[in-house]
Amino acid sequence: AEPMKVGPAHRGFATSPATADLCDEHVESPNRPVIATPGYFNDYGGIKKFHGRIETVKCFESNPLVRKTLGEPGDGRVLVVDGGASTRCAILGDLLATMARDNGWSGVVINGCIRDSAVISGIEVGVKARGTIPLKSVKTHMGERGTTVAFAG
């Protein structure tokens, strides 16, 4: 199945639509979306259920754009990060999770890894990621923001 592509059309939800309703809405689509592969993401944040308008970042093993984005007012949004499914370094740690909470982000979903998971579990923000690794990311390139991302499908 084709992965669900998350782009500008999915950014304006005023309320949290039920996952089942989203699936029903797209049941006839030629690219019937896969919302998330079961078991693909693990919960790490202090909040397990979260929703909001999304902002996307695409980066690979380098997180300056994640930091820049989470440094802005979140207004209840969710940052969706396509980190290329890398397991070689973390895209988010406790400092960025704290920044997300302090700036009003609802949560962060990462196609990649985080670090500082024990500390992040006590921070009142949603964090979902593929796994953990103690190595921090490099800071060599920014990545792309506001682009369509596709993973977990």
Binding residues: 93-96, 115-116
Dist. CA 100–CA 78, nearest whole Å? 9
Asked if 108 contacts 97 with a C-beta cutoff of 8 angstroms, the reply is yes
Annotated binding site for substrate: 93-96, 115
* Residues near 14 by beta carbon (within 8 Å), at least 6 away in sequence: none
For 26-91, the DSSP string reads: TTT-TT------TTS-EE-SSBS-----EEEEE-SSB-HHHHHHHTS--TT-EEEEE-TT--SSEE
Beta-ladder partners of 80: 56, 109
How does DSSP classify residue 101? H
Annotated binding site for Mg(2+): 116
Q: And the tokens for 13?
A: 């939800």
Task: Provide the greatest CA pair distance for the chain.
Answer: 43
